Structure 1
């Protein structure tokens, strides 16, 4: 079996992170929770649940993901597959089997768990999330010929492919940056439908006007940045 690690960025997810960790399939070698300067007990709960806990004091989803990647790349034995998921319990960790299967089967190097309407709990995605995803993926289809339908955070990628992407976004543009770089580098990818439910707590992005606006600006910025290169 290929070695698989999971990276979970987490900011004030003390009420949910333990449940997320408990439901990650046992085939995962290591669960890495990056505590993004939480003010609650996220770090303590994650550590008690058996995760490796890292601290990233710079606020931002991308900062947290990069911290996890730097940790993994510094190990004496690097993994074959890196999986990213959120710590708010909106994903179904047990769907990890579906997300990694196309990579294990040698079909692709990158997989996005697509939050399809048929498998998505009513109200799990806000109207602004649905609109933002729809607009971003529409533009990606028009400009890059993409087949992506979602910017879902639940995703898996070969370790070597991830390192080759040289990820750099520190905040809201992390997911779209990864997908755009996959398209530009012509890396084999696919989507698999995954279940999605209402998160525990309030989203730090779509749950606030400021977060929604900044996320939208960052995502569109990445899309148009690559269109003129």
Structure 2
């Protein structure tokens, strides 16, 4: 793949403290557009994203998957849809400057899907809660059991060919988004790989792993998504 069009989708719910740093650290020579999906934020997330040069679209219906689906729909209808789309969280726990190594296997080796693995990379102590670590281990173990998958993480920092993403017909609107993509990629026999990525403590409090209720809901949805795709 020569000089692909690469665009970034960043779902964001009340991430005004971090969104500018995330956008500023994205390698601008690498990407052709940054889309921040403002997911019913009540703070200055949208304003600060626009100030940093991103395109901001609104998704008033809460949910990580809802925000991602809104971003996909926007890119699908754009005049210059991407060859590759990168998903990146807005809390600055990922390192946007590592985006080159996320997209490189697609460009150089024609891989369809690349997951940034926090399990393989340099993870700051305390960056992931114990329930996140266990949840990732359980989900990837089940994928290994059912589909002989070699995933080590459900990391949100990932890249996928846009045409392949559309083939997956993504549906999940909340916490099952990442695992749905990986399970469906396995069922479609997509070529995939993982690359090690850095992971640090997020700015602000997590809306999912930072609460007991959020962790339980996320865990249930991840397991539900795996088993319904058997």
Equivalent residue, structure 1, for 2:32: 29
User: What are the Cα deviations for residues 74-113 of structure 1, in whole angstroms up to 9, with x where unaligned?
Assistant: 0122111000000000000011000000000133110000
5+ residue gaps in structure 2? none
Q: Is the 8 A contact 1:116 1:195 kept in 2?
A: no
Matched residues in 1 for 2:32 and 2:110: separation? 22
- Among 179, 187, 195, which residue is 1:192 paired with? 195
Structure-to-structure mapping, 1:53-68, within 5 angstroms: 53-68=56-71
Equivalent residue, structure 2, for 1:8: 10
| SS of equivalent to 2:109 | coil
Q: Is the 8 A contact 1:36 1:64 kept in 2?
A: yes
Equivalent residue, structure 2, for 1:18: 20
Q: Is the 8 A contact 1:37 1:57 kept in 2?
A: yes
Aligned length: 227
Q: CA deviation at 1:23?
A: 0.3
Task: Determine if the alignment matches structure 1 residue 179 to structure 2 residue 176.
Answer: no
- Among 191, 199, 213, which residue is 1:210 paired with? 213
Matched residues in 1 for 2:159 and 2:4: separation? 13
Matched residues in 2 for 1:137 and 1:66: separation? 23
* Aligned CA-pair RMSD: 0.8
Structure 1 runs, 4 residues or longer, greater than 4 Å off = none
Inter-CA distance 123–40: structure 2 relative to 1 (3 Å threshold): same
Give TM-score scaled by structure 1 length. 0.98
Q: CA deviation at 1:118?
A: 5.0
